[in-house]
């Protein structure tokens, strides 16, 4: 029998410890099948800082999540043991050391079977997380939701930033270059070369403008066809959402997805081999009324709901 969230009929939602969805802590259980954990790190950002406060904000914003998901007819907390593993402390002054610490912690937490869902933190963290997944599964089909490609080479000569993780991942052979896809790309770029290089690194792209012309089911089918039957890692930069739905982020771009569109695509992943995920770039200093935090919490909830049956 699983241990689920705190009973809201006995402890009001605004009271008690702010774990994700008011789930038990890993330290209070003998084991767990899936873990939500936080990486409060934003030393790789290129514009507005503050994503280091994302994990705490998303947990606070998750208090209203409930046990039953009617959109998928599943109870994600009853069909597997889910726990909050807390936050990892990383060096805020040494980016290389921080990346190494994240990789080691992810490897230890995931063990041989646990599924990790990570709250960032900035998008730099995707690289060490993918390294761990690659050791378990081989090349990974990456489903990357973002306004930005994050396949640039360097910033100010730095190879490891929140704009470079998927270039480094491709160069290291971590991703399946025939089955990876960006979703939600939009906004000005430095040149056409940005798009060309992203394709050469193994990513096809579903642009944000495509949502104005294609039904959501068609987009889901495009994404599923690209991912195929490969192990899928889902990386969600919250700035994939339009700033009207997610103002609390460091690099906002106009013309993004709605919360409803993003959640529908995530639900459309049901039946695929989702092996892990992250939700990054929530910067609460720019949020209003927990709009961004609530969106991020629901993203994690839908990701938990589509994890494969064999890991339940």
- 48-75 confidence digits (pLDDT tens): 999 999 999 999 999 999 999 999 999 9
- What is the tens place of the pLDDT at every residue in 272-302? 999 999 999 999 999 999 999 999 999 999 9
- Residues with Cβ within 8 Å of 50's Cβ and at least 6 positions away in sequence, in order, are 42, 250, 283, 284, 285, 286
Structural domain span for residue 184: 20-311
Average pLDDT score over the chain: 96
pLDDT mean over 204-210: 98
pLDDT for 310 beyond 80: no
Between CA 212 and CA 237 the distance in angstroms is 20
- Residue 1 belongs to some domain of the structure: no
Q: How confident is the model at residue 1 (pLDDT cuts 50, 70, 90)?
A: confident
CATH number at residue 208: 3.40.800.10
How many helices (H) and strands (E) in the chain?
Answer: 8, 8
- Residues with Cβ within 8 Å of 244's Cβ and at least 6 positions away in sequence, in order, are none
- Residue 127 belongs to some domain of the structure: yes
- Residue 11 belongs to some domain of the structure: no
- Residue 5 belongs to some domain of the structure: no
- What is the tens place of the pLDDT at every residue in 102-133? 999 999 999 989 999 999 999 999 999 999 99
Q: Identify the pLDDT of residue 309.
A: 72
- Residue 7 belongs to some domain of the structure: no
Calculate the dihedral angle through the C-alpha atoms of 247, 145, 254, 124, rounding to the nearest 10 degrees.
60
Contact between 224 and 179 (Cβ < 8 Å): no
pLDDT mean over 148-153: 98
Q: Identify the pLDDT of residue 312.
A: 39
Q: How far is CA 276 from CA 77, 78, 106, 115, 290, in A?
A: 16, 19, 11, 6, 25
- Residue 2 belongs to some domain of the structure: no
Question: How many structural domains comprise the chain?
Answer: 1
Q: Considering the entire predicted model, what is its pTM?
A: 0.97
Between CA 243 and CA 266 the distance in angstroms is 19
Q: Identify the pLDDT of residue 311.
A: 44
- Residue 4 belongs to some domain of the structure: no
- Residue 305 belongs to some domain of the structure: yes
Would strands 232-237 and 274-280 be described as parallel, antiparallel, or unpaired?
Answer: parallel
User: What share of the chain has pLDDT > 70, as a percent?
Assistant: 99
């Amino acid at each position: 029998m699983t241990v689920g969230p705190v009973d809201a009929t006995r402890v009001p939602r605004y009271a008690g410890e702010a774990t994700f969805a008011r789930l038990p802590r890993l330290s209070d259980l003998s084991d767990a099948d899936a873990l939500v954990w936080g990486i409060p790190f934003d030393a790789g950002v290129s514009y507005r800082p503050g994503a280091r406060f994302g994990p705490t904000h998303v947990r606070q914003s998750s208090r209203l999540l409930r046990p039953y998901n009617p959109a998928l007819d599943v109870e994600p907390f009853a069909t597997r043991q889910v726990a909050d593993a807390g936050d990892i402390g990383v060096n805020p002054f040494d980016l290389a050391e921080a990346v190494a610490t994240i990789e080691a912690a992810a490897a230890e937490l995931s063990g041989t079977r646990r599924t990790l869902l990570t709250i960032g933190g900035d998008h730099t963290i995707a690289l060490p997380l993918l390294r761990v997944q690659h050791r378990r599964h081989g090349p990974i089909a990456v489903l990357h939701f973002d306004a930005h490609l994050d396949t640039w080479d360097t910033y100010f000569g730095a190879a490891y930033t929140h704009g470079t993780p998927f270039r480094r991942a491709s160069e290291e052979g971590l991703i399946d270059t025939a089955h990876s896809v960006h979703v939600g790309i939009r906004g000005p770029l430095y040149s056409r070369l940005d798009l060309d290089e992203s394709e050469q690194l193994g990513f096809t792209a579903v642009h944000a403008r495509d949502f104005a012309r294609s039904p959501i089911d068609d987009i889901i089918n495009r994404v599923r066809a690209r991912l195929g039957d490969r192990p899928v890692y889902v990386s969600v930069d919250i700035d994939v959402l339009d700033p009207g739905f997610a103002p609390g982020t460091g690099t906002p771009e106009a013309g993004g997805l709605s919360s409803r569109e993003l959640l529908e695509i995530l639900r459309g992943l049901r039946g695929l081999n989702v092996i892990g995920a992250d939700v990054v770039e929530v910067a609460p200093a720019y949020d209003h009324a927990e709009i961004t935090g609530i969106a991020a919490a629901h993203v994690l909830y839908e990701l938990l709901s589509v994890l494969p049956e064999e890991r339940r």
